[in-house]
Amino acid sequence: MIPAPVTAKQSFLLFLIKPSHYDDEGYVIQWARSSIPSNTLAVLNGLALDCAQREVLGGNVEIRITVCDETNTRVRPREIIRQIREAGGRGLVGLIGVQTNQFPRAVDIARPLRAAGIAVCIGGFHVSGCIAMLPDIPPGLQEAMDLGITLFAGELEGRLEPLLRAAWDNQLHPLYNFMNDLPGLEGAVVPYLPAEVVRRTSGIRTSFDAGRGCPFLCSFCTIINVQGRKSRARNADDIERIVRENVAQGVRNFFSTDDNFARNRNWESMFDRLIKMREEDGLRFHIVAQVDTMAHKIRGFIDKAGRAGVNRVFIGLENINPDALKQAQKGQNQITEYRAMLQAWHRVGALTFAGYILGFPGDTPASITRDIGIIQRELPIDLLEFFILTPLPGSADHKKLHLAGVEMDGDMNKYDSVHVTTRHDTMSDEELLSIYRKAWDLYYTPKHVETVLRRAKVRGYSPRNMMTKLLIFCAVPRLEKLHPLEGGLFRRKYRRDRRPGMPFESRLAFYGRYTLDILAKHLRLAAMYWQYRRILKRVEADSSPYTDLAIEPVQKEELDTLELYTTTPAARFALEKLRRKSSARAEAAAKIP
Ligand code: B12
Ligand code: SF4
């Protein structure tokens, strides 16, 4: 952690800590460098800096802020207690952006702090999701409040100042609930992380949320119940400020965490401003964005995104079976649009990362295997990432199961989309977990890696860059059994940072195993690298023209031939529906005089 500077004024120490969670052996998931920065940390740091500048605790109190992302920095509660005591005993530890899987770890960090009398507040999606959707306070939240931890549901914009005052006066409430009062974002304080914090992520990338909220209704999604279905957006001036402030500190890569940039009501004015900054002012920067599968239908969206510097998109494809999409209330995902949409992103030079969920009611190991094959052959996706369908607290799925009394795993640490947390209709827990783990191997075969590299070469994207991305993406689940989003460079483990209830290992056993584990993983990584490198050399050396089904331009006739549309009854039905719709449209057009 970066210690706050010491001064003569009275001090109030504010620690903003984004907790990680535990791996299956009970060790904190932590890296020398994590992969993606925490936007919540950037947002809260921005709000805290604003309060510090405005001296909201009075002119003689200095608010000293320490930010820390536990995925790349060790958290030592004893050190925090020492620092607060040495500074006069006034302070607040905010455990921030706490997802369900991070809640147990957050409470474990809080326990010694509370025992030492330090004020602790937990906010984020777990607290907000539970408060928004459940009729009662779940036992985990109650336990936290019983420990004297303050819980905060809702968003902090405009609310940090009274919270800090309450902490200063020692008058924090057990629970703040602002779920019915979502703040506007236009002109709100913008997210900001100092460069030394950003450098702890592998891509030297920072983040911002250009807006919150999504209009759709996916039943597994928590976002609509926590952040609402109305787009609350920042404005072009805010975005320009965020980019300029970061470029000034040498940070040129951004992750825009909006779950659906395509539905941000200010997308166009923001893109226009970013285009101006790139094309007229000559600024160099790139943006990773999350979009939906119908973004190509919004006039000008993809072209402007490309010009605005969007070079990677995360797309919630979720499934290629229309039945599964219907069950998840994801009617906006039309499989007949997937190919056109993916090709449109490639045309502007953006990499396509698609999310794919396993464990829908109709899924079986055989259907999952078949569908991955179809995706490989027919959809021009670069990187595919798999999730297990998980009833995340805050989602309609979770609420339904909770109210119906269906059994769900009581260990919140497992709600990370790579563990099975509730029973599937036909697959046993072991079967689902096993096909989930196998899915990565099924997609990232040497043959398909070669195909993706060849496709990249055809469209002028560096096969070498693509190889690195493919390698990193499939190495994390293979070697660490974690999702790539939770990955990083060089796994760090501390013997004493083990989940309470699991014994401390002896030094010999711990360091012996840790060393062997690191060696074994790096050897396997090196072997994967050499395999991928051989593939890369072959692709680079081959100058013959290349094409395949996935990158062939979309044609009408393909609707009768591609497996995507012909394999399942639901796909055939979706196709029929599409045909009926277009002939009705054609008839209507013919009637216009
Ligand atoms: C960016 C992102 C990530 C990033 C970084 C994490 C981060 N928080 O920045 C990465 C890629 C690492 C990531 C990974 C995962 N994520 Co994620 N992620 C997001 C995403 C898209 C944006 C987060 C964000 O910036 N939100 C905007 C901020 C400002 O909102 P906020 O966090 O709620 O914070 C506000 C309030 O909650 C409150 N607040 C927050 N903390 C505190 C603390 C205090 C003291 C106070 C007073 C107030 C307060 O004030 C904040 C400002 O208004 C969210 C979806 C979303 N729309 O939020 C999913 C989301 C948080 N992720 C989710 C999940 C499940 C995951 C993964 C497990 C994998 C997966 N299935 O996607 C992994 C977990 C790994 C990990 N170690 O984090 C879920 C969590 C749901 C839940 N109930 O747990 C979400 C909601 C998406 C979803 N699928 O539903 N994620
Ligand atoms: S499109 Fe994405 S953000 Fe919107 S409701 Fe569905 S899962 Fe949630």
CB 291 near ligand 2, within 6 Å:
no
Confidence of residue 487 (pLDDT cuts 50, 70, 90): very high
The predicted pLDDT at position 37 comes to 87
pLDDT of residue 244: 98
Label residue 449 by pLDDT band (50, 70, 90).
very high
User: Tell me, what's the pLDDT at 1?
Assistant: 63
Whole-angstrom distance, CA of residue 496 vs CA of residue 493: 9
Q: 375-414 burial, b for 16+ CB within 10 Å, e for fewer?
A: bbebbbbbbbbbbbbbbbbbbbbbbebbeeeeebeeebbb
* pLDDT above 80: residue 540: yes
Q: Specify the DSSP class assigned to residue 60.
A: T
Q: In this structure, which ligand is nearest to the CA of 415? A: 1
User: Mean pLDDT over all residues of the chain?
Assistant: 95
Average pLDDT over residues 333-349: 95
Per-residue confidence (pLDDT) for residue 2, from 0 to 100: 58
pLDDT attached to residue 121: 98
Query: Tens of pLDDT along 417-442?
Result: 999 999 999 999 999 999 999 999 99
Express each pLDDT in 32-41 by its tens digit: 999 888 999 9
The pLDDT tens digits of the residues spanning 12-46 come to 999 999 999 999 999 999 999 998 889 999 999 99
Q: Check pocket membership of 152 for ligand 2, CB cut-off 6 A.
A: no
So what's the pLDDT on residue 95?
A: 98
Percent of the chain with pLDDT over 70: 98
Q: How far is the CA of 164 from the centre of ligand 1 (A)?
A: 22
Whole-model pTM? 0.96
Binding site membership of 397 for ligand 2 (Cβ less than 6 Å): no
Is the C-beta atom of 214 inside 6 A of ligand 2?
A: yes
Residue with tokens 């779920």: 179
- Ligand 2 pocket, residue 110 CB under 6 Å: no
Does 203 score more than 80 pLDDT?
Answer: no
Compute, in angstroms, the gap from residue 212 CA to the centroid of ligand 1.
Answer: 12
**pLDDT > 90? residue 576:** no
The 3-class SS string of 521-580 reads: HHHHHHHHHHHHHHHHHHHHHCCCCCCCHHHCCCCCCHHHHCHHHHCCHHHHHHHHHHHH
Q: How far apart are CA 495 and CA 503, in angstroms?
A: 10
Q: Which residue has the tokens 């330090």?
A: 118
For 50-82, give one letter per residue: b (16+ CB within 10 A) or e: bbbeeebbeeebbbbbbbbbbbbbebbbeebbe
* Contacts of residue 64, Cβ cutoff 8 Å, sequence gap at least 6: 4, 5, 7, 11, 12, 13, 14, 52, 87
Segment 369-386, tens digit of pLDDT: 999 999 999 999 999 999
Please work out whether the CB of residue 221 comes within 6 Å of at least one atom of ligand 2.
Answer: yes
Higher pLDDT, 581 or 263: 263
Single-letter amino acid code for the residue at 490? F
Element (DSSP H or E) covering residue 327: helix 322-327
290 CB within 6 A, ligand 2: no
Are the beta carbons of 263 and 224 closer than 8 angstroms?
no
Distances (CA, A) of 418 to 12, 101, 250, 390, 477: 39, 11, 35, 9, 9
Closest residue (by CA) to atom 6 of ligand 2? 218
The pLDDT, as a whole number, for residue 584 is 82
Taking CB atoms and a 6 Å cutoff, what residues make up the pocket around ligand 1? Answer: 20, 36, 38-40, 43, 71, 94, 96-97, 99-101, 121, 123-126, 128-129, 152, 155-157, 163, 209, 221-223, 227, 257, 259, 387, 392-394, 415-417, 483, 485-486
359 CA from centroid of ligand 1 (Å): 22
Overall average pLDDT of the 566-582 stretch: 86
State residue 574's pLDDT score: 84
* Contact (Cβ atoms closer than 8 angstroms) between residue 296 and residue 302: yes
Rounded to whole angstroms, how far apart are CA atoms 478 and 525? 10
Span of 125-129, 149-153, 222-226, 574-578 with lowest mean pLDDT: 574-578
Question: Over 90: is that where the pLDDT of 269 sits?
Answer: yes
Q: What is the mean pLDDT of residues 536-556?
A: 96
Beta carbon of 260 within 6 Å of any ligand 2 atom: yes
Q: How far is the CA of 391 from the centre of ligand 2 (A)?
A: 14
Distances from the Cα of 453 to the Cα of 353, 381, 524, angstroms: 15, 11, 21
Is residue 577 scored above 90 in pLDDT? no
CA distance 366 to 51: 56
Token representation of residue 133: 């959707």
Ligand 2 mean position, distance from CA 216 (Å): 6
Res 165 pLDDT > 90: yes
The rounded Å distance from CA 332 to ligand 2 centre is 10
3 state DSSP class of 341:
helix
Whether the pLDDT of residue 578 is over 90: the answer is: no
What is the distance in A from the centroid of ligand 1 to the CA of 97? Answer: 5
DSSP character at residue 414: G
Residues linked to residue 67 through DSSP beta bridges, in sequence order? 16
| Percent of the chain whose predicted confidence (pLDDT) is above 90 | 91
Ligand 1 atom at shortest distance from the alpha carbon of 416 = 68
Please report the pLDDT score of residue 418 as a whole number: 96
Quick one: average pLDDT of 62-73? 97
Over the stretch 496-528, which tens digit does the pLDDT of each residue have? 999 999 999 999 999 999 999 999 999 999 999
Provide the pLDDT for residue 6.
Answer: 56
Q: How many CA atoms lie within 13 A of 444 on its CB side?
A: 25
Does the pLDDT value for residue 139 go beyond 90? yes
CA pair distance 450, 459, nearest whole angstrom: 15
**393 C-alpha to ligand 2 centroid (Å):** 15
Taking the CA of 182 as reference, the closest ligand is 1
